[in-house]
Amino acid sequence: MCAARPELVRLRLARLPLLALGLASLGAGVWGGLLRLPVAVPTPGLAGGWLLWHGPLMVCCFLGTVIGLERAVGLQMWWPYGAPILTAAGALGLIGGAPGPAPVVLLTLGSAWYAAVAWRIVGIQAEKFTIIMAVGATAWTASNLLWLGGRAVFELVPWWVAFLGLTIIGERLDLGRFQKRPAWAVPVLLVILGVMAAGVGVTLVRPAAGERLLGAGLVLAAVWLARFDIARTTVRHPGQPRFMAVCLLAGYVWMAAAGAMLVAFAPLQAGLRYDAALHSFFLGFVFSMIFGHAPVIFPAVLVLPPFFTPAFYGHVVVLHAGLALRVVGDLAGWVPARQWGGAIGGVALALFLANTVRAVVRALTAPKPTARK
């Protein structure tokens, strides 16, 4: 045990710069998002273009890097680290205001590398959940190619929804593999995912029809997850299982809300309804999933024992309360509610980081259990 410790420390240290660049993207992204609400936050002198790149910073730089890192850690091989290294370099370029298309090229290469990793995993383990995640990774690469080809950010959003939606649904299917379900459940899910994928493709030629199809797929996927995810059972178990289940179930409600708004309001390109639908998915669904899985994923990446404290409910409650206020403000045209709700969302993310760092420090400094004779 003692002999392995310096190796573990080296491994943690090697991952830290990538994690740090991912988190810097999150910070820069939230900053840019607050300015767009608009909320009066300072605009630093170094603000090259990065304040404009809120969506890409959140999805490609933060989530792309963290997801690529988590996959590389899980595989325990060196080459999958190419994906988060490239996306972290792209993030650095975007935040540092690198000229020309270099940051987008790096992000595109990083996403293609990640897709290669995801399809390699299919080669190792050809299961439905690995294929779903690989299709999600491919959607991310496609979005970056569209970006390089000159498409606007709002045209990339359906592809990002597919990337994150399929990645998370694949993950949930994996975790519920040994759960008893009726024989028709998974085939029905595959049809629903097909509807989502078709919707994303159709947005290229008929944006309104494509977004409606994607939205319908999201509503159906949320209903499927709420019905068949193991969270319905684990919500009755105390401690960390209940915490995770609460986050998952709340996330499914937001996913259904996002889908319903897409169906009702498509096509969406900017403005209040765009804000409501997008953040119901990205903050309400995706961040609820991140909050739920963080007490397991962060320790895995940093080689620590799993951690959970009831204080984690703090950032969850603030996130959902802030988002509910923001969406009500968006849909009612009540701008102060949207601004307060957006700012409260920023507070929730800061609280999440603070609670996580506190838990990491506590786990690192906790006395080692002594071996019993």
Question: Minimum distance between the CB of residue 156 and ligand HEM, rounded to whole angstroms?
Answer: 8
- For the chain, what is the HEC assignment? CCCCHHHHHHHHHHHHHHHHHHHHHHHHHHHHHHHHCCCCCCCCCCCCCHHHCHHHHHHHHHHHHHHHHHHHHHHCCCHHHHHHHHHHHHHHHHHHCCCCCHHHHHHHHHHHHHHHHHHHHHHHCCCHHHHHHHHHHHHHHHHHHHHHCCCCHHHHHHHHHHHHHHHHHHHHHHHCCCCCCCCCHHHHHHHHHHHHHHHHHHCCCCHHHHHHHHHHHHHHHHHHHHHHCCHHHHCCCCCHHHHHHHHHHHHHHHHHHHHHHHHHHCCCCCCHHHHHHHHHHHHHHHHHHHHHHHHHHHHHHHCCCCCCCCCHHHHHHHHHHHHHHHHHHHHHCCHHHHHHHHHHHHHHHHHHHHHHHHHHHHHHHCCCCCCCC
Amino acid type, 239: G
| Cα(251)–Cα(175) distance, integer angstroms | 16
Return the number of the residue (130 or 275) whose C-beta is nearest ligand HEM: 275
Question: Minimum distance between the CB of residue 250 and ligand HEM, rounded to whole angstroms?
Answer: 15
Return the number of the residue (173 or 278) whose C-beta is nearest ligand HEM: 278
Among the listed ranges 40-48, 253-261, 280-288, 308-316, the one in contact with ligand HEM (CB under 6 A) is 280-288
Residue 341 near ligand HEM by CB under 6 A:
no
Q: Which of 119, 274, 313, 334 binds ligand HEM (CB under 6 A)?
A: 274
Q: Which of 18, 19, 24, 30 binds ligand HEM (CB under 6 A)?
A: 30
Q: Which single residue brings its beta carbon nearest to ligand HEM?
A: 33
Residue 270 near ligand HEM by CB under 6 A:
yes
Residue 107 near ligand HEM by CB under 6 A:
no
Of residues 51 through 70, those in contact with ligand HEM by CB under 6 A are 54-55, 58-59, 63
Q: CA distances (Å), 279 to each of 83, 110, 192, 285, 340, in order?
A: 26, 25, 22, 8, 14
Of residues 137 through 176, those in contact with ligand HEM by CB under 6 A are 153-154, 157
Q: Which of 345, 352, 355, 359 binds ligand HEM (CB under 6 A)?
A: 345
Residue 283 near ligand HEM by CB under 6 A:
yes
Question: Minimum distance between the CB of residue 164 and ligand HEM, rounded to whole angstroms?
Answer: 7
The binding track of 297-336 with respect to ligand HEM, each residue x by CB under 6 A or -, is ----------------------------------------
The binding track of 32-51 with respect to ligand HEM, each residue x by CB under 6 A or -, is -xx-xx--------------
Question: Minimum distance between the CB of residue 79 and ligand HEM, rounded to whole angstroms?
Answer: 27
Question: Minimum distance between the CB of residue 312 and ligand HEM, rounded to whole angstroms?
Answer: 18
Q: Measuring CA to CA, which residue among 169, 173, 177, 176 is closest to residue 196?
A: 169
Q: Measuring CA to CA, which residue among 287, 30, 322 is closest to residue 330?
A: 322
Question: Minimum distance between the CB of residue 28 and ligand HEM, rounded to whole angstroms?
Answer: 12
Among the listed ranges 90-98, 108-116, 274-282, 305-313, the one in contact with ligand HEM (CB under 6 A) is 274-282
| Residue 15 contacts residue 302 (beta carbons within 8 Å) | yes
Question: Minimum distance between the CB of residue 247 and ligand HEM, rounded to whole angstroms?
Answer: 15
Residue 104 near ligand HEM by CB under 6 A:
no
Q: Report residue 370 as tokens.
A: 């002594």
Question: Minimum distance between the CB of residue 229 and ligand HEM, rounded to whole angstroms?
Answer: 21
Q: Which of 171, 211, 229, 275 binds ligand HEM (CB under 6 A)?
A: 275
Residue ranges that bind ligand HEM, judged by CB under 6 A: 30, 33-34, 36-37, 54-55, 58-59, 63, 153-154, 157, 270-271, 274-275, 278-279, 282-283, 286-287, 342, 345-346
